[in-house]
């Protein structure tokens, strides 16, 4: 059995956060809408990522079991359109928010490869374009972007990552974030579910993974109160009864996720077959003949 899943959200101060591990969580001084979501509908084990804006009012989480986004009702229309893939916006599979007071600022990574979109401060856009110009397969390789204090951001790729750190925040090579990024600069990528901090650059929670393998590592530097609560949840999750309950719950949700994916695959197959048969019928109509479909097996 794999270790219980962890979800971390750093809020607007050391007293503002969400910490989830296994079946249990702590939530303190977050927005009312997010707090209600955390208490009522947030499934820690199945939530692969959670993104929250600087003012805490805008947030999105993704539940892999149900394939559903959860978000605040007042979310900016452009972001809502990406979440649903409507009004000309590409359907997203990941959203993140920068250190900005503008509720319309965001990064969206589309489900279709290369269909990312961003509305950000011009200085970050300039730096993003600079990085993009130096990476040949940028559009095909990017899978997300997370933001920290000031102009800090990390671009997440399938085969690695690029970190751009705000010079005003990172003046010491022994800064904890610099050290952990340096230690994993080769042969590691950063996974969704990682988060940086808007109010203090030294706080973070990062999930590293070796591309093409199942090897993962988590590194974090959290305010003392958060670190203590995370440790408490980890100790609780190690208790035999709780561990069994986590395993049973995860198995139930994974069955639901597998059933959903099988249904989606079957629907895609049926649509492809219908399109294929439609194409054959059109060919017959154009040529005036009869097309006989003959299956081939290899």
User: Cα dist. 60→49, 72, 83, 258, 297 in Å?
Assistant: 8, 7, 9, 23, 46
Question: Which residues are CB-contacts of 254 (< 8 A; sequence separation ≥ 6)?
Answer: 65
This prediction's pTM: 0.84
Residue 296 has pLDDT above 80, yes or no: no
Tell me what the mean pLDDT of segment 219-237 comes to.
97
Phi/psi of residue 202, nearest 5 degrees: -80, -10
As a whole number, the mean pLDDT across the chain is 88
Residue with tokens 């294929």: 276
Higher pLDDT, 162 or 280: 162
* Tens digit of each residue's pLDDT (9 = 90 or more) over 167-190: 988 988 899 999 999 999 999 999
**What are the E-state strand segments in 36-159?**
47-52, 59-63, 68-71, 92-96, 106-110, 117-119, 142-147, 153-157
294 C-beta neighbours (distance < 10 Å), count = 5
Please tell me the distance from the alpha carbon of residue 175 to that of residue 104, in angstroms, as a whole number: 31
When pLDDT is cut at 50, 70 and 90, the band that residue 218 belongs to is very high
Please tell me the distance from the alpha carbon of residue 212 to that of residue 234, in angstroms, as a whole number: 28
Average pLDDT score over residue span 219-246: 94
> Are 88 and 47 in contact, with CB atoms under 8 Å apart?
no
Residue 245's pLDDT is what?
85
At residue 276, the pLDDT reads 53
């Amino acid at each position: 059995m794999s270790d219980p899943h962890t979800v971390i959200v750093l809020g607007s101060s050391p007293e503002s956060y969400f910490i989830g591990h296994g079946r249990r969580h702590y939530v303190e001084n977050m927005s009312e809408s997010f707090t209600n979501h955390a208490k009522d509908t947030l499934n820690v084990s199945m939530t692969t990522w959670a993104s929250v804006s600087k003012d805490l009012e805008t947030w999105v989480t993704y539940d892999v079991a149900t394939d559903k986004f959860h978000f605040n009702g007042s979310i900016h229309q452009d972001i809502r359109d990406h979440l649903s893939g409507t009004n000309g916006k590409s359907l997203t599979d990941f959203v993140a928010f920068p250190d900005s007071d503008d509720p319309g600022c965001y990064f969206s990574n589309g489900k279709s490869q290369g269909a990312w979109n961003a509305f950000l401060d011009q200085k970050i856009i300039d730096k993003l374009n600079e990085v993009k110009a130096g990476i040949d397969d940028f559009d095909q390789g990017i899978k997300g972007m997370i933001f920290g204090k000031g102009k800090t951001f990390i671009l997440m790729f399938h085969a690695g990552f690029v970190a751009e750190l705000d010079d005003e925040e990172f003046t010491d090579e022994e800064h904890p974030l610099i050290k952990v990024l340096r230690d994993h600069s080769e042969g590691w990528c950063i996974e969704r579910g990682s988060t940086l901090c808007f109010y203090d650059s030294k706080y973070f929670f990062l999930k590293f993974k070796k591309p093409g393998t199942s090897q993962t590592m988590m590194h974090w530097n959290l305010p003392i109160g958060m670190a203590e609560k995370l440790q408490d949840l980890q100790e609780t999750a190690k208790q035999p009864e709780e561990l069994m309950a986590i395993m049973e719950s995860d198995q139930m949700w994974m069955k639901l996720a597998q059933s959903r994916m099988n249904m989606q695959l079957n629907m895609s197959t049926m649509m492809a077959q219908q399109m294929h048969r439609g194409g054959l019928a059109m060919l017959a109509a154009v040529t005036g003949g009869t097309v006989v479909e003959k299956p081939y097996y290899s």
